[in-house]
A and B are shown apart, each in its own frame.
Chain A
Amino acid sequence: MTQDRRSLLKTAAAAALLPGLGAGLAAMPRPARAQPTTLKIGVLNDQSGVYREVSGPTSTACVRQAIQDSGIAAKGVTVEVVQADHQNKADVGSTIVRQWIDRDGVDVIVDVPNSAVALAVNGIVREKNKVYLNSTGGTTELTGRQCSPNTVHWTYDTYMLARSTGGAMVKTGADSWFFITADYAFGHDLERNTTGFIQAAGGKVLGSVRHPLQSTDFSSYLLQAQQSRAKVIGLANAGTDTINSVKQAAEFGVTRRGTKIAVLLMFINDVHSLGLKAAQGLVCTESFYWDLNDRTRAFTERVRGSLAGNYPAMSHAGCYASVLHYLKAVADMGAPAAKASGTDVVARMKAMPTDDDAFGKGRIREDGRKLHPAYLFEVKTPEESRGPWDYYKLLQTTEAEEAFRPLAEGSCPLVRS
């Protein structure tokens, strides 16, 4: 009798789980029979939440563009793309990645915004010896203590943002700062790192105020920042908090009186959703801008048709460039060998210099860090802008070798001292 009840419970539990599984799998094509010449790329990101615009479907379109540009099909290798929504939950992301690798034969995981999910995926991909090309995650842990021989961290990290926005801005004369900081680990880290670079460059920080996550009204903090008479108000927050801060700063005329606002984490899509009227004069760092040079414009022109009105941010460009470089390494070593070992492919990727339209020439360091310049941009005024998405003018460039945390400071176990 007990036995019966137990099996009944099991069936009920399994039945309850099924609809959830079904929904997760609906987005994926049926598993292909393992053929040595078919590679499978899984784009894992936020398709429905706060990071949708900076990752989401645009990342997948950029990955498809990379496959097309690589010309790998002509070499007899087919590449399939699957995508899924991790809903910014580490457990959801982990489950998807395990299913992808164990059952569907996925070889590469791409994109993965949100540091918590990014780190969870890092562990699984290493355990399964596949390849992990992170573009939209920001945590320096990926190339620090938790660095992995299966991981390449392509686009940016919090160190790069702090160094470029903090250090390079002081060089332009903006040497006194006040921080409006989100009151959790991410905000504190960003404020602390940026403070370090400001002081190293000879600037000073006059004060800071910490606001709870997901605040609606920032006028009070902006007023406190103004009363400090700092030349720069640094926003160490993200997403809606940043957008609300910027919108209200424009309303209170903060920038009209010469104060600069530096946003420590912003993508061009955020500028788009703010509108130039509110965003003009903001300063931020990205490692890619579509209108930077002929090559970035050419890349954007190629991919634009499949973006449904969106434009690529650095995060999207990173998906493109990392997959392109991965496919070059695959072509170099042969698809069967690449499929057999993720570590081998990543080692080959590190050995080959990188060159693509989005980031130009560069290389991948032994801790998995991709090196390229960081650009400090100022958002144009509505009068300066010549059309839609013409948003940035370049203020400063931090060269590739200086832009990221020095190899020795990361405590990555892969680095032999």
Chain B
Amino acid sequence: MFEDLLFQLELGLPQVVLGLVNGAFYALLSLGLAVIFGMLNVINFAHGAQFMMGAFVAWMLLNWFGIGYWPALILSPLIVGAFGVLLEKTMISRLYKLDHLYGLLLTFGLALIIEGIFRNEFGSSGLPYSPPASLAGPPVDLGFMFLPKYRLWVVAAALVLSLATWLVIEKTRLGAYLRAATENAALVQAFGVNVPRMVTLTYAAGVALAAFAGVLAAPIYSVNPQMGSNLIIVVFAVVVIGGMGSILGSVLTGFGLGLVEGLTKVFYPEASSTVIFVIMAIVLLARPAGLFGRA
């Protein structure tokens, strides 16, 4: 009996760690979505495409300009964020006064167009991108498993960035402006705050978060035009479970669901892609506003 339990533990523990790594991606992506939804009330369906662009820009920087992973980690979110500014200024900003549905349709259409362009340009079977030399070496021995250094870095980076985003929005003056603008934009503007610019920059920041996750993903997932659409549905489920617009909620749920998914992969792998949606259904029935959402 005891041995049996020990065996299960030996099998389970590495999966917990791997689940956290995947959770890091869910957390980062849902963080960006939550920021955009919480502050702009836009359901950004182009998030997956922007995640993909982050990875592709890293590839372009490396292959066209010889710029490696570390600079790309900063440059790629900046470049894709600038693209976000362009999208917000020219298209998305026109929809703030309309129903959510219009923003959803517009960004979904944009996602399809962006993916189509990349598929035409780069094909669909993917591009190679190696981890940086400093993180490439042999996997680290954790006692119960070998974990590639790169995965440890992913978890650390995601944690730091999530924490930083939460601090900025909840604890700084800028964050306070932002939250106030969500409640009553006209009033905040009356105090002399340039609300439209702030909104544009918030959208760009959300997009940059997606691109950052894209660069993080490039060395371990296939860099192809569809890479975002495979993840985005799960990420939406994470955001819904966490509570639309709740920053802390999406981060905690991201890591938590990564964990649940990881364990499902051992005990019943066939269900690993559905387990998150089952949880989503249960949460929606019990708490329609999500685990951390305000009803």
- A interface vs B, CB < 8 Å? 48-50, 52-54, 183, 209-212, 214-217, 219-221, 223-224, 227, 239-240, 243-244, 247-248, 251-253, 256, 269-270, 273-275, 277-278
Contacts and interface: CB of A to CB of B under 8 A. Distances in A.
A221 B128 CA distance: 22
The 10 closest A-B pairs by CB, nearest first: A275-B128, A212-B273, A220-B265, A243-B222, A53-B125, A273-B125, A273-B126, A251-B148, A219-B18, A244-B222
A240 B131 contact: no
A23 to B, nearest CB: 13
Contacts of B11: 224, 227
A365 B48 CA distance: 48
B124 A49 contact: yes
Nearest to A241: B222
B21 A253 contact: no
Interface residues of B, number: 42
Given A240-B224, A253-B146, A50 B138 contact: no
Contacts of B227: 216, 240
Given A53-B125, A216-B230, A273-B125, A223 B138 contact: no
Contact of B265 (A221, A240, A270): A221
Given A253-B138, A275-B130, A240 B14 contact: no
Given A53-B125, A211-B272, A244-B222, 12 more contacts: A49-B124, A50-B125, A209-B269, A212-B270, A214-B273, A217-B21, A220-B15, A220-B266, A224-B11, A247-B220, A252-B146, A273-B125
B120 interface: yes
B128 A223 contact: no
B265 A50 contact: no
Given A50-B124, A217-B22, A275-B130, A223 B15 contact: yes
Interface of B: 11, 14-15, 18-19, 21-22, 116, 119-120, 123-128, 130-131, 138-139, 145-146, 148, 150-151, 219-222, 224, 226-227, 230-231, 262, 265-266, 269-270, 272-274
A273 B224 CA distance: 10
A275 B266 CA distance: 30
Nearest to A212: B273
B148 A220 contact: no
23 contacts: A50-B124, A50-B125, A52-B119, A52-B124, A52-B125, A211-B265, A211-B272, A212-B274, A215-B273, A216-B230, A217-B18, A217-B21, A217-B22, A220-B15, A240-B222, A240-B227, A244-B221, A244-B222, A251-B220, A252-B139, A252-B148, A269-B125, A278-B130
A275 B223 CA distance: 12
Given A219-B21, A223-B14, A247-B222, A273 B269 contact: no
A248 B220 contact: yes
A214 B221 CA distance: 12
A211 B124 contact: no
A227 B265 CA distance: 14
A212 B138 contact: no
B120 A48 contact: yes
Max count, chain B CB within 10 A of own CB: residue among A209, A248, A252, A277: A252
A155 to B, nearest CB: 18
Max count, chain A CB within 10 A of own CB: residue among B18, B138, B226, B262: B18
A349 B148 CA distance: 54
Contacts of A212: 270, 272-274
Contacts of A274: 126, 128
B11 to A, nearest CB: 7
A216 B148 contact: no
A390 B180 CA distance: 60
A211 B126 CA distance: 21
Nearest to B229: A214
A253 B146 CA distance: 9
A210 B270 contact: yes
A190 to B, nearest CB: 17
A249 to B, nearest CB: 11
A214 B230 CA distance: 7
Given A212-B270, A270-B125, A273-B127, A253 B119 contact: no
Given A48-B119, A212-B272, A214-B230, A243 B139 contact: no
